[in-house]
């Protein structure tokens, strides 16, 4: 038989290198996949990882897009990572992202066509509240009835997607849009738009906030009592209870923070790059952020780097579809390989594989 035996002292150096090894294995397995699809594997890997940054004329457009794509991934992943470290598994950030975008956009469109400078801050407030409120559903159900937050948060994603379709064709539909589903374009309305802060960089308010959140989370997790409680709840739940850590507060805090950050990511996306609420607004950022969180080892700085890497695969994947005809599904599979190999490397870092039979004694 084959069994896993836990290592008493896992190698910390190997554990730190597992994200890099996972990326290399993803490139190798992805190259094989691209070859089976009839593409040159070396060219495909080059187009995904090199051309968006260094090959003109693509790089001049792609480099600013790196921050645009990375911003929401980092914001969502930071929120998820705090919960994951506490043993709270919020898998429904995509729904919180959608609801934040809907609530934020609705708050702004309620005052159209006003040019008040208070409109965008109001949208930010309602975007965060929308994501927070959606995350409170699994939080309250968990602390009140003991439900599984994984299932509840995941199922709420599909509810949010149906609400998105409903408002896109109903209450938020552009009355001047010739009957097409979708809201007014917020990018064409100065009071509600989220433009670049520095022209040509892709830096907008959402990206700036993601950098602030990375720093704030690092400080909280390493210097603040709240971060200690979160880590203790995840690493030693019984010790946390003896230390006076309230599990209900931890659940509410972690899910609420993750939902608020996901909602803000949705608001900054709908008021910036996306520009409007549409049926197709859901981008999968909430699910991809799970990969980013684990690829970054649930550490704020690691998540920052992992978010940039994942954003590069988004941009490079689109370029590979355009230049090489690689199917979109293959790019999604390529991204999924990152999480698969990362989890596999974690298993082999923390466990030994043993072969043979075990003796059963009476």
Domain count, the chain: 1
Which domain range does residue 140 map to?
A: 74-299
Alpha-carbon torsion (100, 77, 72, 291), positive or negative:
negative
Query: Distances from the Cα of 41 to the Cαs of 28, 47, 55, 180, 318, in angstroms?
Result: 9, 10, 18, 41, 16
d(CA 170, CA 168): 6
User: 110 and 118 in contact (C-beta within 8 Å)?
Assistant: no
Q: Which of 118, 68, 76 is nearest to 97 (CA)?
A: 76
Predicted local confidence at residue 362, as pLDDT: 47
Query: How many residues can be counted in the chain?
Result: 362
Q: Which residues of the chain have pLDDT under 70?
A: 356-362
Query: Distances from the Cα of 339 to the Cαs of 42, 213, 361, in angstroms?
Result: 22, 23, 40
Q: Answer whether residue 2 is part of any domain.
A: no
**Each residue of 187-237: pLDDT tens digit?**
888 999 998 888 888 899 999 999 999 999 999 999 999 999 999 999 888
Q: Which of 255, 254, 260 is nearest to 230 (CA)?
A: 254
Q: What are phi and psi of 171, to 5 degrees?
A: -65, -30
Q: Answer whether residue 196 is part of any domain.
A: yes
Q: Answer whether residue 284 is part of any domain.
A: yes
Q: Does the bond joining 121 to the residue before it have cis omega, within 30 degrees of 0?
A: no
Q: What are phi and psi of 4, to 5 degrees?
A: -105, 135
Q: Is residue 140 exposed (0-12), middle (13-18) or buried (19+ Cβ within 10 Å)?
A: middle
Predicted local confidence at residue 56, as pLDDT: 83
Q: Answer whether residue 259 is part of any domain.
A: yes
Residues in Cβ contact with 174 at an 8 Å cutoff, skipping those fewer than 6 apart:
180, 182, 183, 184, 185, 276
Q: Answer whether residue 183 is part of any domain.
A: yes
Q: Which of 85, 86, 67 is nearest to 300 (CA)?
A: 85
Q: Answer whether residue 145 is part of any domain.
A: yes
Predicted local confidence at residue 9, as pLDDT: 83
Q: Is residue 129 exposed (0-12), middle (13-18) or buried (19+ Cβ within 10 Å)?
A: buried
Q: Answer whether residue 159 is part of any domain.
A: yes
User: 263 and 132 in contact (C-beta within 8 Å)?
Assistant: yes
SS3 labels along the chain: CEEEEECCCCCHHHHHHHHHHHHHHHHHHHHHHHHHCCCCHHHHHHHHHCHHHHCCCHHHHHHHHHHHHHHHHHHHHHHHHHHHHCCCCCCCHHHHHHHHHHHHHHHHHCCCCCCCCCHHHHHHHHHHHHHHHHHHHHHHHHHHHCCCHHHHHHHHHHHHHHHHHHHHHCCCCCCCCCCCCCCCCHHHCHHHCCCCCECCCCECHHHHHHHHHHHHHHHHHHHCHHHHHHHHHHHCHHHHHHCCCCHHHHHHHHHHHHHHHHHHHHHHHHCCCCCCCCCCCCCCHHHHHHHHHHHCCCCHHHHHHHHHHHHHHHHHHHHHHHHHCCCHHHHHHHHHHHHHHHHHHHHHHHEEEEECCCCCCC
Q: Answer whether residue 341 is part of any domain.
A: no
Predicted local confidence at residue 101, as pLDDT: 97
């Amino acid at each position: 038989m084959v069994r896993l035996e836990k290592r008493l002292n896992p190698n910390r150096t190997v554990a730190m290198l597992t994200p890099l090894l996972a990326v290399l294995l993803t490139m190798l397995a992805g190259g094989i996949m691209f070859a089976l699809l009839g593409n040159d594997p070396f060219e495909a890997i080059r187009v995904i990882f090199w051309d968006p940054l260094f090959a003109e004329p693509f790089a001049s457009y792609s480099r600013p897009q790196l921050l645009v794509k990375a911003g929401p991934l980092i914001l969502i992943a930071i929120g998820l990572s705090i919960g994951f470290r506490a043993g709270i598994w919020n898998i429904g950030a995509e729904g919180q992202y959608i609801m934040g975008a809907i609530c934020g956009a609705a708050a702004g469109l309620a005052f159209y066509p006003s040019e008040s400078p208070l409109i965008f801050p109001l949208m930010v407030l309602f975007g965060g509240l929308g994501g927070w409120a959606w995350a409170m559903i699994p939080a309250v159900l968990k602390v009140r009835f003991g439900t599984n937050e994984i299932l509840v948060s995941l199922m709420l994603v599909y509810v949010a997607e149906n609400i998105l379709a409903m408002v896109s064709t109903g209450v938020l539909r552009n009355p001047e849009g010739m009957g097409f589903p979708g809201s007014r374009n917020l990018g064409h309305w100065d009071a509600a738009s989220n433009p670049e802060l520095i022209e040509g960089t892709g830096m907008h308010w959402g990206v700036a906030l993601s950098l602030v959140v990375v720093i704030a989370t690092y400080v909280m997790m390493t210097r603040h009592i709240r971060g200690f409680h979160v880590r203790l709840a995840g690493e030693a739940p019984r010790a946390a209870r003896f230390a006076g850590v309230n599990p209900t507060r931890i659940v509410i805090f972690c899910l609420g923070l993750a939902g608020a950050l996901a909602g803000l990511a949705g608001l900054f996306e709908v008021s910036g790059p996306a520009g409007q609420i549409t049926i197709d607004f859901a981008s999968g950022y909430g699910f991809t952020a799970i990969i980013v969180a684990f690829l970054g080892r649930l550490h704020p700085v690691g998540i920052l780097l992992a978010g940039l890497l994942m954003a590069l695969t988004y941009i490079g994947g689109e370029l590979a579809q355009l230049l090489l005809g690689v199917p979109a599904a293959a790019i999604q599979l390529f991204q999924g390989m990152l999480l698969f190999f990362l989890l596999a490397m974690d298993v082999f870092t923390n466990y030994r594989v043993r072969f043979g039979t075990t003796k059963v004694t009476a």
